[in-house]
Amino acid sequence: MKAIVDCNSFYCSCERLFKPKLEKRPVVVLSNNDGCIVSRSDEAKAVGVEMAGPYFQARHLIEKHDVAVFSSNYNLYGDLSMRVMDTLRAIAGTDKVEVYSVDEAFVDLPEMPFDQLEQAAREMKEIVEQWTGISVSIGVAPTKTLAKLANHIAKKNKNITGCISILATQHQQREALQHTRLNNIWGIGRANAAKLFNMGITSGWELATMREEWAHANLGGVVGVRLIKELRGELAVDTKKELVEKRMIATTRMFGSPVNNIEDIKEAVATYTSRAAEKLRRQYSAAKVVSVFIVGKGQDHLLDWREDSISDHATLPVATSITQELIKPALELVEHLYQPGNIYKKAGVMLSGLVPDDSVQGNLFDTTDRNTQRQLMSMMDNINFSQRDDILKFASSGTTRDWKMRQELRSGRYTTRWNELFEVK
């Protein structure tokens, strides 16, 4: 059996963890630069606050219903997410947990009678909530797709389900699928849902009864066949091992306010490159390719940045993890991409062509003392990790950083900063 453990309104739950007075009060968390609403508590949903809506449009509802508002606090959310996932690993075993997102994980459950599954899920829920303080919903079924459906049911009817839903038997699965519209099925996107509606297929059960040959022809080949099998209770997507080493590393951010000065963009790109280089060294890799993109203010922020930006890349003579060797080509790319008079709202850096740092192929004309440089990078990483907030940085990253992302309503980073530890009075 597969279980999916999903944190309830995760960002809001993180904020409430250190502010118990918010327990029954509506809470929302905003996106980068305090632009849109990206997380809502159940109470905020009840008063009509819309997901992904602009903050300024919801301000009248927020003020009317005394909704607590927070800027995104990724340091806090990331740390609490790690605690939830580590708790699940302690319960089920490291090889039985697949982290699906910052607030979701699939868990392989041991074989047990169907009538014991709900108790096992409830015990898991109680342990996670007791150890971390984060409330969760759990869906259990034979496949990942059905487990996601079970979790959807558990969260939709919390007062009835107690945040636990089990779809173990064929009868339970059929009844759930018959009452589920296609747009609530994991793996059915908006385009495919519209396409299937036009074919007269409206429920999950109707889709599950289609032949595999039809799914191959109409739902993307092998992917569609797997979906049909999963809906029938046949395991087609197994637990994946955690990807320890990334094949590409990226750091992207919105500017705090639109910029038109190339020096500001250079500072931002140098800062993002430094952060990506830290991630690179953390997995003992070196990068062969540096890519930079910048996004203009007049472009639609809802579009995929890859379709909405100008970008370029540089191939290095020798793969490296040395920050200054990555910053130099990144800044040269900014000079190439920047167009005077344009206003920009976002930039990003990607490192690719990754290879193990201890097996970098040498270059006859490369005279850099890389051992000394690696020692310098290791020292900087250790100091920055212990002191936080980039206490050591390259001059090209700037000092004032007026372009930094706005977080005017951010709460304390209670679990990752000594000077922001939560105080009990």
pLDDT of residue 416: 85
Q: Are residue 56 and residue 99 in the same domain, yes or no?
A: yes
Least confident of 82-96, 181-195, 324-338: 181-195
Q: Is 387's pLDDT higher than 90?
A: no
Tokens of 417: 């900063």
Q: What is the pLDDT of residues 21-50, one digit of tens each?
A: 999 999 999 988 888 999 999 999 999 999
**Does residue 291 fall inside a structural domain?**
yes
Sign of CA pseudo-dihedral 227, 143, 154, 38? negative
Range of the domain at 220: 184-239
Q: What is the pLDDT of residue 362?
A: 60
Q: What is the pLDDT of residue 301?
A: 46
Specify the pLDDT at position 303. Answer: 45
Q: Which two tokens stand for residue 332?
A: 């040269």
Same domain, 232 and 255: no
pLDDT tens, position by position, 390-407: 788 898 988 777 777 778
Q: What is the pLDDT of residue 320?
A: 92
Number of domains in the chain: 3
What integer pLDDT is reported at residue 103 of this predicted model? Answer: 95
Instruction: Return d(Cα 389, Cα 120) in angstroms, integer.
Output: 42
Per cent of the chain over pLDDT 90 is 67
Distance CA 313, CA 349 (A): 10
The answer to whether residue 175 sits within a structural domain is no
CB 259 within 8 A of CB 403: yes
151 shares its domain with 192 = no
Identify whether residues 142 and 13 lie together within a single domain.
Answer: yes
Q: Is 403 helix (H, G, I), strand (E, B) or coil?
A: coil
Residues contacting residue 377 through CB under 8 Å, at least 6 positions apart: 277, 281, 321, 322, 323
Q: Compute the mean pLDDT over every residue in the chain, rounded to the nearest whole number.
A: 89
| DSSP for 297-338, written as a single string | TTS-TTS-GGGS-EEEEEEEEEEE--HHHHHHHHHHHHHHH-
Q: What integer pLDDT is reported at residue 33 of this predicted model?
A: 83
- In this prediction the pTM is 0.82
φ and ψ of 256, to 5 deg: -60, -35
Please state which of the ranges 83-92, 144-153, 226-235, 253-262 shows the lowest mean pLDDT.
253-262
Q: How far apart are CA 411 and CA 316, in angstroms?
A: 41
**Is 13 in the same domain as 140?**
yes
For residue 32, give the DSSP letter: G
pLDDT of residue 306: 47
Do both 119 and 267 map to the same domain? no
CATH of the domain at 212: 1.10.150.20
- What distance, in Å, lies between the first and last C-alpha atoms of the chain? 45
In a shared domain, residues 88 and 54: yes
Q: How far apart are CA 347 and CA 305, in angstroms?
A: 10
- How does DSSP classify residue 181? B
Write the burial class of residue 237 (CB in 10 Å: 0-12 exposed, 13-18 middle, 19+ buried). middle
- Tell me the per-residue pLDDT of 150-183, one tens digit each, with 9 for 90 and over: 999 999 889 899 999 999 999 999 999 999 999 8
pLDDT for 289-319, tens place per residue? 999 999 987 644 444 444 457 999 999 998 9
Cα 47 to Cα 25, 51, 185, 255, distances in angstroms: 11, 12, 27, 31
For residue 41, the domain's CATH number is: 3.30.70.270
Q: Grade residue 420 by pLDDT with cuts at 50, 70 and 90.
A: confident
- 126 and 198 housed in the same domain: no
Q: Does 422 fall in a domain?
A: no
pLDDT, tens digit, for every residue of 58-114?
999 999 999 999 999 998 999 999 999 999 999 999 899 999 999 999 999 999 999
Residue 254 in any domain: the answer is: yes
DSSP labels, 161-177: HTTEEE--SHHHHHHHH
Residue 4 lies in a domain: yes
The answer to whether residues 125 and 222 belong to one domain is no
Do residues 405 and 74 lie in contact, with contact meaning Cβ atoms separated by under 8 Å?
A: no
**Which amino acid is residue 360, in one-letter code?**
V
Tell me the C-alpha distance between 143 and 195, whole Å. Answer: 25
Question: What confidence category does residue 258 fall into, taking pLDDT thresholds of 50, 70 and 90?
Answer: confident
Q: Which of 242, 259, 208 is nearest to 400 (CA)?
A: 259
